[in-house]
Amino acid sequence: MKTDKQELEFVEMARFAKAMSHPIRLQILSLLSKSDCCYTGDITDELPIARSTLSQHFKELKAAGLIQGEYNPPKIKYCLQPDNWEKAKKQFDNFFESNKKSSCC
């Protein structure tokens, strides 16, 4: 069914939205992009939050597929995950586009 397909799409999009539903995580994503899409510095210099908490946020962004990390202890290099990033962008674009503000209200 077509409906089921869209329902699955919504499930996936909701997962991206949830990953973006915390200010810290939006800041992380923004930081990653600003440093040419990757970041290696000490990110707690930029964010007022415990390291372990930050690590949890990274974990969630990774679980949602929005970022990826190369681990070379004691450093890690975090990057946006280009494919899913593009996918999320398209889903949101499309969602807002096909749900335009109309004149009915």
| Residue 1 touches its own copies, criterion: CB under 8 A | no
- Smallest gap from Cβ 75 to its own copies, in A, equals 16
Cα torsion for 87, 92, 94, 97, to the nearest 10°? -160
Q: Which of its own copies, DNA, none does residue 69 bind (CB under 5 to 8 Å by kind)?
A: DNA
Whole-angstrom Cα distance, residue 16 to residue 11?
Answer: 9
Binding residue for its own copies (CB under 8 A) from 1, 4, 73, 98? 98
| Residue 75 touches DNA, criterion: CB under 7 A | yes
Contact 64, 19 (CB under 8 A): yes
**For 50, which DSSP code?**
-
Residues 17-46 that bind its own copies (CB under 8 A): 17-18, 20-23, 25-27, 29-30, 32-33, 36-38
List the helix and strand counts (H, then E) for the chain.
4, 3
Positions that interact with DNA (CB under 7 A): 18, 21-22, 24, 40-44, 49-60, 69, 71-76
